[in-house]
Amino acid sequence: MARVVQKYGGSSVATPEQIKKIARRVIDSYNDNNDVVVVISARAGETNRLIEMAEEMCPGQNGREYDLLISAGEQVSIGLLGLCITSMGYKVRTYLGWQVPIITDSLHSRASIEYINPTKINTDLALGTIVIVAGFQGIDGNGSITTLGRGGGDTSAVALAHALKADQCELYSDVEGIFTADPTVCSDAQKIGQISYDEMLELASEGARGVQIRAIEYAKKNNVTIHVRSSFTTATGTLITGEETVMEGVVVTGIVYDKNEAKIAVLGVPDKPGTAAKILTALADADISVDMIVQNVSHGGLADVTFSISKTDLDKAHQITNRIAAELQAREVIADRNISKVSIVGLGMKNHAGVAARMFAALAFNNINIQMISTSEIKVAVAIDEKYTELAVRVLHETFKVAV
Amino acid sequence: MARVVQKYGGSSVATPEQIKKIARRVIDSYNDNNDVVVVISARAGETNRLIEMAEEMCPGQNGREYDLLISAGEQVSIGLLGLCITSMGYKVRTYLGWQVPIITDSLHSRASIEYINPTKINTDLALGTIVIVAGFQGIDGNGSITTLGRGGGDTSAVALAHALKADQCELYSDVEGIFTADPTVCSDAQKIGQISYDEMLELASEGARGVQIRAIEYAKKNNVTIHVRSSFTTATGTLITGEETVMEGVVVTGIVYDKNEAKIAVLGVPDKPGTAAKILTALADADISVDMIVQNVSHGGLADVTFSISKTDLDKAHQITNRIAAELQAREVIADRNISKVSIVGLGMKNHAGVAARMFAALAFNNINIQMISTSEIKVAVAIDEKYTELAVRVLHETFKVAV
């Protein structure tokens, strides 16, 4: 007998057939003698549809009324799944965020969970009821509906698992788990059985799919075991836990890539303090996150500042950078849409010197030029020409003999 | 300075353009120095879409999860109207049923309002905020969302007007008010300036559009003045009040017709007690309401039972009646889809004898045969061949010189 929180994404509840499939999966787990709490998101596309309507009505809003509107999507999906499980003959109880309640702060459209009262759900579970909770939403101290923003659904699930003292939080999606590399790119990639929060945080930041970063952070803070698995198979996926056991000789746990990167280089700017800050501030004001940044050594009083951003932000960022570059009297601004980022991640790096050097050598040996670098204690990421992405992943997977 | 509750139906908020129109109308009223509370329904078709999804997921449900699902429609419409009014520069606050709260009993999908706490809304109004409330929904003592069923939106508005001590409750739709007869049928029909609750109840029961019966009953019980008016014009509509002033010489206040009627006659049933009851019970069990009923005098121990029902229920009712008729060994069952009901309504009837006789004579003079009759203190309704509907309305309007 275990207690599990299962979270299904919007694509799992898009059609009546899919809802029925999820319902059967939930019931299977219940019949295996588990307490089951299900967290679901709005049906695929529904929240975007609501956001579009809101934008049409009143561009740029994200306050109380906006959250009330965009949280209607989960209400529909929990209602439908609730009815479906009822029709299959099981006791069910659905909860919107405010009904649990899931208390958040008042930062509308990007609220943080402050407290979840587990009393009602604990009572339901004790009575053998399957509980379904709307993800992504909560209620603040004023009684207003709040939404958690990007990654909110996964975070709701992890926070509920914590509040309910669940044995694990299962995050279902279309990926079977976390792999040592993308299996469609690297044929000898393997599913990772267990991974630490820190490694998973790095992998997710660098492009791995399957879990939202906020949810991993919440899980790490509260020591919630996450199980990333596929809603299409019953195979065990990847466990994300607090255990930091490094296998003998394993340096790199996973290799990830992200093709949604672009680069802007500002060439020939006067090399004085505050130059890079000026550009980055302007981008931050426009809500554009910068990933990697390189400022080269000055030659003749002029420096080059290069940074990477999302491909989707490139046009806007280019415009802004052009404006600031003109103010700074830079020589030239070059934008490059064709880059990608490849990263190696592993706790083992902590104890192994020269990992980055081995990585760079392997890439150089295959004529893959490195354009930017960023590192952490357990990660090395490089920006390269996009067309070499798959080659780089395979080369690095082979080089480090990534093992599970 | 007055306090008004304005209720707009789902067709008024179907498109962004319509929402903007409503927003301007609300703001106009606010700028006329009124406290304004707006009650809106789900956008046209939305609740039906949700009901269809619920039916597909789990046919025949109407409990807690069902109400949670189908109440998502109003959430979207109040959110959109709220954002729209915000974008026009006015302070606004939206409330779902549970946020007000509007407390109801626990009869899901047909709940009754028990209490509305006016505190939050009174505070908002005192601060010059425009308040928008989701109609059709409430919360029960267990914290579950409830819906009020058919006519729930109008009832929410009237109940809020009562709780907030509003001067009037404006019900907006596509009709300009209540008319002495359908103006598309009777060219000299006039808009009624003021009408009593009892007359309006009879008119609405007999086919008048513009207000739901439950809302009129609530208004009568709590003495709330209703103003039925069009969202397309600024003209004054019809006031429904408790005043029962009968104009000198005015017998009939309004004439209404209902083409959604059908007739079933069960001929040659043994005339013993309980025969009609048997048929009517079977229909009631199938949720079919019977309107008029006639049982003729027995000849030779055999009687005929005739009753009218909605056209939409005819096929189902015919089947059921056939079954019971066979059990009762009736001679024959005849169904007739082509009937309609024409009714005259007026407080003046109380003081005038012979009103029904004048009505029947006028119809007979025009060769319109009366198939069934039902009467109340202030109403006479007759079932006739559907093709004579318009003729009958015009003849009766002329006969009684219906005046405003």
* B63: CATH: 3.40.1160.10
Kindly write down the DSSP assignment for every residue of A103-170, as one continuous string: EE-S-TTS--EEEE--HHHHHHHHTT-EEEEESSEEE-TTS-EEE--TTHHHHHHHHHHHHTT-SEEE
The domain tally of chain A equals: 2
Contact B80 A54 (CB under 8 A): yes
Residue A292 lies in a domain: yes
**Which residues in chain A have their CB less than 8 angstroms from residue B143's CB?**
99
Sign of the torsion formed by the C-alpha atoms of B320, B325, B331 and B336: negative
Greater model confidence, B340 or B354: B340
DSSP state of A388: G
Rounded CA-CA distance A214/A209 in Å is: 13
Residue B222 lies in a domain: no
SS3 A310: strand
* Residue to substitute from B80, B95, B100, interface A, most A β-carbons within 10 A: B80
Interchain contact B60–A (C-beta under 8 A): no
Contact A56 B16 (CB under 8 A): yes
Contact B69 A83 (CB under 8 A): yes
Contact A75 B72 (CB under 8 A): yes
> Crossing angle of helices A152-163/A213-222, nearest 10°?
20
The dihedral over CA atoms of B188, B193, B198, B199, expressed in degrees to the nearest 10, equals 0
Rounded CA-CA distance A137/A148 in Å is: 6
Interchain contact B280–A (C-beta under 8 A): no
Nearest CA in chain B to A69: B79
Q: Is the pLDDT of residue A254 over 60?
A: yes
pLDDT recorded at residue A403: 61
Contact B94 A68 (CB under 8 A): yes
Residue A148 lies in a domain: yes
Contact A70, A47 (CB under 8 A): yes
DSSP E strands: which ranges in A217-253? 226-230, 238-241
DSSP E strands: which ranges in B174-322? 194-196, 226-230, 238-241, 254-270, 293-295, 302-310
B270 and B167 share one domain: no
Cα–Cα nearest to A95, from A61, A119, A127, A60: A119
Q: Which residue of A68, A80, A92 is in closest CB contact with B75?
A: A68
Taking all residues of chain B, what is their mean pLDDT, rounded to a whole number? 92
Question: Mean pLDDT over residues B270-291, rounded?
Answer: 87
Name the band, by pLDDT with cuts 50, 70 and 90, for residue A371.
Answer: very high
A166 and A270 share one domain: no
In this structure, are strands A168-173 and A3-8 parallel, antiparallel, or unpaired? parallel
Residue A206 lies in a domain: no
Structure tokens at B84: 């729209």
Greater model confidence, B278 or A7: A7
Residue with tokens 């989707």: A312
Structure tokens at A127: 């009575």
Contact A116, A166 (CB under 8 A): no
Interchain contact A61–B (C-beta under 8 A): yes
pLDDT recorded at residue A178: 94
Per residue in B200-217, pLDDT tens? 999 998 888 878 999 999
Taking phi first (over 0 means left), then psi (-120 to 50 degrees means alpha), and beta for anything else, what does residue B352 get? beta
Domain final residue, candidates B145, B173, B201: B173
Contact B76 A69 (CB under 8 A): yes
Nearest CA in chain B to A14: B53
Contact B342, B257 (CB under 8 A): yes
Q: CB count, 10 Å around CB of B277?
A: 10
Sheet holding B194-196, edge to edge: B92-95, B130-134, B35-40, B3-8, B168-173, B226-230, B238-241, B194-196
The dihedral over CA atoms of B98, B102, B108, B112, expressed in degrees to the nearest 10, equals 180
* Residue to substitute from B46, B66, B75, interface A, most A β-carbons within 10 A: B75
Interchain contact A99–B (C-beta under 8 A): yes
Per residue in A38-60, pLDDT tens? 999 998 888 889 999 999 888 88
Per residue in A308-346, pLDDT tens? 999 999 999 999 999 999 998 999 999 999 999 999 999
**Which residues in chain B have their CB less than 8 angstroms from residue A80's CB?**
53-54, 57, 69
Q: CB count, 10 Å around CB of A185?
A: 17
In this structure, are strands B238-241 and B226-230 parallel, antiparallel, or unpaired? antiparallel
Q: Which residue of A66, A82, A83 is in closest CB contact with B83?
A: A66
Contact A68 B16 (CB under 8 A): no
A147, β-bridge pairs: A137
Rounded CA-CA distance B383/B263 in Å is: 9
pLDDT recorded at residue B10: 84
A7 and A155 share one domain: yes
Q: What is the CATH number of the domain that holds B316?
A: 3.30.2130.10
**Which residues in chain B have their CB less than 8 angstroms from residue A75's CB?**
68-69, 71-72, 75
A309, β-bridge pairs: A262
Domain final residue, candidates A122, A156, A173: A173
Rounded CA-CA distance B163/B131 in Å is: 14
* Amino acid (one-letter) located at A80: L
Contact A53 B76 (CB under 8 A): yes
A39 and A155 share one domain: yes
The distance of Cα A296 from the centroid of its chain, to the nearest Å, equals: 31
Interchain contact B41–A (C-beta under 8 A): no
Q: Is the pLDDT of residue A200 over 60?
A: yes
* Distances from the Cα of A339 to the Cα of A262, A291, A319, B133, angstroms: 6, 13, 19, 51
A295 and A386 share one domain: yes
B133 and B8 share one domain: yes
Interchain contact A340–B (C-beta under 8 A): no
B115, β-bridge pairs: B103
Residue B347 lies in a domain: yes
Domain final residue, candidates A173, A192, A209: A173
A161, β-bridge pairs: none
Rounded CA-CA distance B50/A75 in Å is: 11
Q: Is the pLDDT of residue B151 over 90?
A: no
Residue A228 lies in a domain: no
Nearest CA in chain B to A76: B69
Q: Which residue of B58, B61, B92 is in closest CB contact with A65?
A: B92
pLDDT recorded at residue B389: 96
Name the band, by pLDDT with cuts 50, 70 and 90, for residue A12.
Answer: confident
**Which residues in chain B have their CB less than 8 angstroms from residue A93's CB?**
64
pLDDT recorded at residue B403: 61
Q: Which stretches within B32-88 are classed as H helix?
A: 46-57, 64-70, 72-87
Q: CB under 8 Å to B226, separation ≥6 — which residues?
A: B158, B168, B169, B170, B171, B211, B215, B216, B219, B239, B240, B241
SS3 A312: helix
Q: Is the pLDDT of residue A151 over 90?
A: no
Q: Which domain holds residue A160?
A: 3-173
B26 and B150 share one domain: yes
Per residue in B155-214, pLDDT tens? 999 999 999 999 999 999 888 999 999 999 999 999 999 999 999 999 998 888 878 999
B129 and B264 share one domain: no
A20 and A166 share one domain: yes
SS3 B286: coil
Interchain contact B69–A (C-beta under 8 A): yes
Question: Mean pLDDT over residues A266-289, rounded?
Answer: 87
**Which residues in chain B have their CB less than 8 angstroms from residue A144's CB?**
99
Whether the complex's predicted ipTM is more than 0.95 is answered with no
Q: What's the predicted TM-score (pTM) here?
A: 0.85
A3, β-bridge pairs: A35
Contact B79 A59 (CB under 8 A): no
Burial of A387 from C-beta contacts in 10 A (0-12 / 13-18 / 19+): exposed
B155 and B294 share one domain: no
B278 and B167 share one domain: no
Rounded CA-CA distance A240/A196 in Å is: 6
Interchain contact B71–A (C-beta under 8 A): yes
B154 and B292 share one domain: no
Lowest-confidence region among A346-355, A377-386, B87-96: A346-355
Residue B79 lies in a domain: yes
State the nearest Cα–Cα gap between A12 and chain B, in angstroms: 15
State the nearest Cα–Cα gap between A141 and chain B, in angstroms: 12
Residue A161 lies in a domain: yes
Cα–Cα nearest to B396, from B181, B159, B179: B181
Nearest CA in chain B to A16: B57
Interchain contact A55–B (C-beta under 8 A): no
